[in-house]
Amino acid sequence: MVAGIVGLGLMGGSMGLALKGVPQVSKVIGYDHNPNHCEEALKHHLIDEVVTWDALKKSDVIFLAIPVEGIIKALQKLTDVPPGCTIIDLGSTKAKIVENIPPQIRKNVVAAHPMTGTEKFGPSAALANLYRDKIVVLCNLEESGELQSVTAKALFEAIGMKIVTMDAKEHDRHAAYISHLPHAISYALANAVMAQEDAKNILILAAGGFRDMSRLAKSSPIMWEEIFKQNRENLLEAMDHFEEELKRCRSLINEENWKGLYTWMEEAQKLHDIL
């Protein structure tokens, strides 16, 4: 089968590299609206060939690896694919994407979220083993066609992923806590430090703790603006809960309630018993 990838950045480029090792895939073609990214993708051998949008539409399997608002727009331009075509979106949000799949291609589409990535972006960020041994969430799979569901599962398994199925709305509630809130916090932490007059002197002291907590703030604002927009309600709710916890920590410190603070932190430590 011919696999076509729309968006040749971290996720699309890594998918191109991963598909090279899949016997069912005879060729990987790619499309990106940024000509520099097309060139880079070829230079790094992420795909076999760069093609036009019309040529890409003829692929047996189409991966959409572009920001989540772009995925919704791209789906509107794919309404004429043949019934046997499988379209797999790799977006970090799922409910808005699933809601906006044009009805005539509903069976063609498999809504997927690979739970893997990095803070880096663009073709140079692509990694051959990004997907190996990681989880991919397939949402509302019962609405996809049988062929499409089998094809998507086979491809994700062939690149070493473990499949989890979930309702799209439930996925978005969970993703708000496990991925979207941590990114918002990391951007906030970075801005809080940068807003200090002596930010440079503060940053001289940065060791592992600050680097770990601020790594996500390097992530692409183009991508995250659209994720925050699509998962706005769930993210706001998660932020409320986080703010409550931060306020609790603040008031325990303010009241010099060291025993209470110790218990609060001991409770948090239990997270790593189950993670």
Ligand X SMILES: O=C(O)C(=O)C[C@]1(C(=O)O)C=C[C@H](O)C=C1
Ligand Y SMILES: NC(=O)c1ccc[n+]([C@@H]2O[C@H](COP(=O)([O-])OP(=O)(O)OC[C@H]3O[C@@H](n4cnc5c(N)ncnc54)[C@H](O)[C@@H]3O)[C@@H](O)[C@H]2O)c1
- In order of 52, 98, 149, the CA distances from 141 in angstroms are 29, 10, 7
Q: Collapsing DSSP states into helix, strand and coil, what is residue 6? A: strand
The CB-of-262 to ligand X minimum distance in angstroms stands at: 30
- Smaller CB distance to ligand X: residue 116 or 230? 116
- Closest to ligand Y by CB, 92 or 148: 92
Question: Does 88 contact ligand X by CB under 6 A?
Answer: no
216 binds, among ligand Y, ligand X, none (CB under 5 to 8 A by kind): ligand X
Using the contact rule CB under 6 A, the part of the chain among 54-62, 68-76, 103-111, 195-203 near ligand Y is: 68-76
Query: Facing residues of 50 across strands?
Result: 30
Binders in 168-227 for ligand Y, by CB under 6 A: 220, 223, 227
Task: Using CB under 6 A, count the residues that bind ligand Y.
Answer: 29
Question: 61 exposed, middle or buried (CB, 10 Å; 0-12, 13-18, 19+)?
Answer: buried
Residue number with CB closer to ligand X (57 or 180):
180
Q: Is there binding between residue 119 and ligand X (CB under 6 A)?
A: yes
The 227-256 contact track toward ligand Y, x by CB under 6 A, reads: x-----------------------------
Tokens of 11: 């996720």
Provide the token pair at 149: 């569901």
42 binds ligand X (CB under 6 A): no
Beta-bridged to residue 61, according to DSSP, are 3, 86
Q: Which entry of ligand Y, ligand X, none binds 3, CB below 5 to 8 A by partner kind?
A: none
User: Which position among 90, 137, 152, 166 is part of the footprint of ligand Y (CB under 6 A)?
Assistant: 90
User: Residue 115 Cβ, how far from ligand X at the closest point, in Å?
Assistant: 5
Q: Are 222 and 229 in contact (CB under 8 A)?
A: no
Residue 100: Cβ-neighbour burial (10 angstroms; 0-12, 13-18, 19+): middle
Residue listed under structure tokens 């191109």: 16
Q: Which of 88, 91, 105, 153 binds ligand Y (CB under 6 A)?
A: 91
- Residues 122, 125, 129, 133: what is their CA dihedral angle, to the nearest 10 degrees? -70
C-alpha distance from residue 134 to each of 160, 165, 209, 235 (Å): 7, 14, 25, 24
Measured distance CA(61)–CA(3) in Å, rounded = 5
Binding region for ligand Y (CB under 6 A): 6-12, 32-34, 37, 65-68, 70-71, 90-92, 114, 117-118, 121-122, 125, 220, 223, 227
Binding region for ligand X (CB under 6 A): 92, 115-119, 179, 216
